[in-house]
Amino acid sequence: MHAPRIKLSSQGPEFSRIVAGAWRMADWNWSPQQRLSWIKGCLDLGVTTFDHADIYGGYQAEAQFGAALALEPGLRRQMQLVSKTGIALVSSERPEHRIQHYNTRRQHIIDSAERSLTNLHTDHLDLLLIHRPSPLMDADEIAEGFHALHQSGKVHHFGVSNFSPRQFELVNSRVPLVTNQVEVSPLYLDLLHDGTLDQMQQLKIAPMAWSPLAGGRLFAAGERETRVREVLSNLASIGNAPADEAAYAWLLRHPARMLPITGSRKLDVIKKAVSACSLQMDEQDWFAVWQAASGHPVP
């Protein structure tokens, strides 16, 4: 079992279809050797793309990943590293932050990316994203930061996260973007209908999907969650695969060519996401999940 690979755009990088998210790594309380074993386990499954952000783990997760990678630096050639910038947290790690805010200024983008390179023990990022759109973002200034990082070889490709279609269009008019990392799951359907995924199809850009299992809410005891989970567990076209595996298959069925980001430290869970890549869900089963989540049939 091996995750397939996909190009994010015509000029973009090639990533594994399933992405390993490291945002909870600081909560795992693992040694560098344990984190290295997890990294190698992901690579063995063909999950070669790792998703980070400067703020994850209170600005600690990237350094923890990097400390593990430093034990076997040669593994860097087998992987793609993604990071994000633009959210400024109030933290002892950033005493200059008086209030939580967004910062998409040129120098902040450059400084954040360079700090990520140091923390991750790498000389380049394969992809850097603006984490969230700021009401004060200046598309020209973002482009200046991106161009400086690209010209220095420190970042190879750029994208955004949580951007509306209009916000994506604005930044993409200044600098080529290769993805929009957005929240989508069987419990969060908004992006199926607000034009975000339609725009990705139009531009032939593959979006990355965070929280594909709704942050674990898919397994909560609520009425809606139970209804969706029961439908996911009984889909004939994919052989009644487990609910979590079926949830990944449901996302992968969408023609926008999403790349789901797992958030688990358990390799068995990541393995299910990889297994979902080989499942072929038909339209009726896909809409059965949509109906369960929406609470009504299609109009």
37 Cβ contact list (under 8 Å, min separation 6): none
Active-site annotation holds for 59: no
The three-state (H, E, C) secondary structure of the chain, written as one string: CCCCEEECCCCCCEEECCEEECCCHHHCCCCHHHHHHHHHHHHHCCCCEEECCCCHHHHCHHHHHHHHHCCCHHHHHHCEEEEEECEECCECCECCCCCCEECCCHHHHHHHHHHHHHHHCCCCECEEEECCCCCCCCHHHHHHHHHHHHHCCCECCEEEECCCHHHHHHHHCCCCCCCEEEECECCECHHHCCCHHHHHHHHCCCCEEECCCHHHHHHCCCHHHHHHHHHHCCCHHHCCCCHHHHHHHHHHCCCCCCEEEECCCCHHHHHHHHHHCCCCCCHHHHHHHHHHHHCCCCC
Q: Considering the candidates 56, 102, 188, 248, report the single residue annotated as catalytic.
A: 56
| Cα distances (angstroms) measured from residue 78 to each of 72, 73, 251, 255 | 11, 10, 26, 28
- Known catalytic residues are 56
